[in-house]
Amino acid sequence: MSEHSSLEEFKYRLHFLKQNFLYHTTRNGRESLSALRSLKDTSRGRRCFILGNGPSLRQTDLSRLRGEFTFGLNRIYLLFPELGFSTTYLVTVNSLVIDQCAAELATVPSMKFFPWTARHHFSPEAGVIYIRTNCPKPRFFIDADEPLWPGATVTFVAMQLAYHIGFDEVILLGVDHSFTTQGKPHSTVISQGDDPNHFAPNYFGKRFKWQLPDLESSEIDYRMAKQAFEDNGRRIVDATIGGKLTIFPKVDYDSIF
């Protein structure tokens, strides 16, 4: 290891320790930690749905999810007025989404899980449970009160939260795993018009900054999630209509009900 890389590793480790110290000693960190620990395994024996934001949601009768436990991701709240209900949980970890949508995210009535690093965006009244997403090593965490590995997709973070809360079965919807817009994974782009990659044209609409997906890395994350669930006698299944993801067993959406 070079002297430069050793110094960078030391700086990162120091920053990691500082952030974890602050999380344990500041009010919003302590309250979030307490909330996460109180949620642990409270939904054993139950199922939940994780809603990706792909165009296939428009082909899915989401009215059937009223009364179900649901995880919404990023800007899923754009769909709430049409649905007539909100998802049980909302998970957002991408800094670009939070920077541009913090005011909207703060008013969402779902139980909200946002990264600790975004705490300056939200008042205590927003009711955010802050999670740490600064773990440096790829891993699926079964306890969300630890620093998590965020992976390449917010869906992976939602899976870790679903495991932590105790759900025995996770059903994926709208995880199309396919994007029209192409480019280098993780690179930041500015949308030039309507969004063809999500359920609404204004999801990442004109002038919105967003990061291109990394589908290969997402698949690595999903395999870790699949293994973790199956090791504990639980399962993740995929009911996305027309989805391209092949990691999880496919189930017919209509057969679920």
Whole-number pLDDT of residue 55: 97
**Residue 1 pLDDT exceeds 60:** no
Residue type at 115 in one-letter notation: P
- Whether residue 218 contacts residue 142, with contact meaning beta carbons closer than 8 Å, is answered with no
- With cut-offs at 50, 70 and 90, classify the pLDDT of residue 16: confident
Residue with tokens 């939602």: 158
Tens digits of residue pLDDT in 196-207: 999 999 999 999
Whole-number pLDDT of residue 18: 82
Q: Can you tell me the distance from the alpha carbon of 168 to that of 45, in angstroms, rounded to the nearest whole number?
A: 5
- Distances, alpha carbon 234 to alpha carbons 156, 226, 227, in Å: 16, 9, 10
The residues, ordered by sequence, that sit 6+ positions from 239 with a Cβ below 8 Å of its Cβ are 171, 172, 173, 250, 251, 252, 253, 256
Tens digits of residue pLDDT in 148-197: 999 999 999 999 999 999 999 999 999 999 999 999 999 999 999 999 99
The residues, ordered by sequence, that sit 6+ positions from 13 with a Cβ below 8 Å of its Cβ are none
Whole-number pLDDT of residue 177: 97
Measured in degrees and rounded to the nearest 5, phi and psi for residue 89 equal -125, 155
Nearest to 92 by CA among 122, 61, 59: 122
Instruction: Record the pTM.
Output: 0.94
Whole-number pLDDT of residue 75: 98
Tens digits of residue pLDDT in 39-69: 999 999 999 999 999 999 999 999 999 999 9
Q: Can you tell me the distance from the alpha carbon of 257 to that of 187, in angstroms, rounded to the nearest whole number?
A: 40
Q: How many residues does the chain have?
A: 257
Whole-number pLDDT of residue 5: 64
Q: Can you tell me the distance from the alpha carbon of 106 to that of 150, in angstroms, rounded to the nearest whole number?
A: 21
**Residue 236 pLDDT exceeds 80:** yes
**Residue 136 pLDDT exceeds 60:** yes
